[in-house]
Amino acid sequence: MTRPEMLIPAFSSTPDDRVSTGEGDLGRWWSIGLLLLGVLFNFWIATVSARVNAGSDFAQFYAAGKLVGTGHLYDRDAITKIEAEYGAPKVATARLPVVAFAFKPLSALPFPIARKLWLIASILAGVLAAILWPRLDRLTILTALAWSLPGCLGLFYGQDILFFWLFFSAGIYLLAQRRTYASGVAFALCICKFHLLIGLAIMLLARKEWRAIGSAALTTAALLVASFAIEGRAWPGAYLAVIHSPSFSPGTNRMPDVYGLVANFPYAIQLEILLCVGIAWALWRVSGRVPLPVAGALAAAMGLLTAHHAYGYDCILLLPVCVIAIQKNRLPLWLRLAALFMVSPLFLFVLASDYSVIAQAVACGTALALLEVRRITPVNHNRLGCLATHAQCPLEP
C-alpha cells in the first residue's frame, strides 16, 4: 500500500525514507513541482472566486483603521458606511483598539494600494511562519502551505490569520531557542485573534514556561492599557456588544471546531463544554511529554478546536500538526491519512458542503487521537527543550 508521505516525497520522516541515491534529487524536484502546482491551484481558486466578497475582511480592517481613536470604532453605522464605499459586506469590527490602530498607516493610503500591500505582507507572513516552525523540513511545510485552501482564503478575504500564525510560530521558535521573554512578547501579539489561544495557554502552563507566561502577561497588559489610551474608557462595553451580537457568528454549523460539530445536537452548549474540557485535559497531559515543536503544533490545533468562533481560513493552524503526523511512520496509517485529508483542499470543500459534520468529526477525532498517542517516551528538557531520551517519540518532527 502506498504510504501517505510518499504521495509527497518531501513528507518523509527521515532522509532515509526519501527516494535514495540518484532518485533523491528527482523526488525533491518532483516536490518542488508539486509546490508550484499547489500555488497555481490556489491562484485559480482565487481567480474564479474573485467576484465573491474579495478583500471583505480587509475592508473591515481598513475602516477600523480610519475610526480607531475617534471613540466610534465599534459604531456599526460608522464602520459599515466606510465599508459600503468599497463594496464590502457590512460587518462591525471585532478587533481590539490596539489591533485596529496597527492598520492606521494602511488606512491613510488609497484602498486599492492598501489592499495590495496587505496581500503582499500576508503572503510573506505565511511563508515566514512556515519556515520558522522548529524542526520541520522547509520544503515539506511550504508544499503543504502551497496547497492550503485556508491560506488561500485568508489571502482572498484579507484576513489576519496568517499574521496570527506568524506570531505563534515565532513564539514557538524563540521558546525552542530558550529566548523565553522574547517568545512571550511574540505570543502576546497573537492578541489579534486571542480566542484561538486556549491551547497555547494550556501548553505553556503544562510545560511550566513561567518566564514566557510572565512576559506574555505583561505585554498583553501593556496592549490593553494602550487600547484604553487609544479608544477611551468606554470601549470594552461596546466591544462586548459587538461580539455578542447575533450576526457576529453566522454559519455556526460549518465552523471547523467543537462548537460547529455539536451545533445541531440537543444540549449543544453542554456537549461543547464537555468535549472542550476533555481536549484541554488531554493537551495538558501530553504537552510535557512531547518535544516542544509537537506540543506547539498540538496547542495551535487545540486552540482552533476549542474556539467558540472559527472559520475555514483559521484551519491554517492545523497545518503543523498535520505535517508532523503525515511524516511519522510509527503512527497508524488511518491517522496519517486523516491528517493528509485535512491538509488537502478537499477538507474545506467538505466543510463548506451539506456534509460539514464529516470534516468537523475528522478534525476533532484526529486531534484527540494524536493527543492520546500512548507510545510517547518522556522528554529530557535540555537546553533546547525539544529532545526526547532514548527511543524517539512517535510524533517527534
329 CB-near residues (< 8 Å, 6+ apart): 3, 5, 13, 17
Confidence check: pLDDT of 248 > 90: no
Distance CA 55, CA 42 (A): 16
Angle between helices 210-231 and 235-243 (to 10 degrees): 110
Percent of the chain with pLDDT over 70: 85
Residue with cell 497531559: 285
Q: How many CA atoms lie within 13 A of 113 on its CB side?
A: 6
pLDDT in tens, 12-53: 434 333 333 344 566 678 888 989 999 999 888 887 776 655
pLDDT class for 383, splitting at 50, 70, 90?
A: very low
pLDDT at 12: 41
pLDDT at 137: 85
pLDDT class for 5, splitting at 50, 70, 90?
A: very low
Answer with the residue of higher pLDDT: 327 or 362. 362
Judge contact between 361 and 261, C-beta under 8 A.
Answer: yes
Confidence check: pLDDT of 393 > 60: no
pLDDT in tens, 267-291: 999 999 999 999 999 999 999 989 9
Distance CA 51, CA 213 (A): 43
Distance CA 238, CA 259 (A): 25
Nearest by Cα to 349 from 334, 336, 367, 362: 362
Residue with cell 468535549: 275
Confidence check: pLDDT of 380 > 70: no
Mean pLDDT of 227-241: 94
pLDDT class for 174, splitting at 50, 70, 90?
A: very high
Max Cα-Cα span within the chain:
67
pLDDT in tens, 63-89: 999 999 999 999 989 998 998 888 777
Question: Which residues are 388's β-sheet partners?
Answer: 379
> 10 Å Cβ neighbour count for 50?
11
Grid coordinates given for 183: 517568545
pTM for the predicted model, two decimal places: 0.88
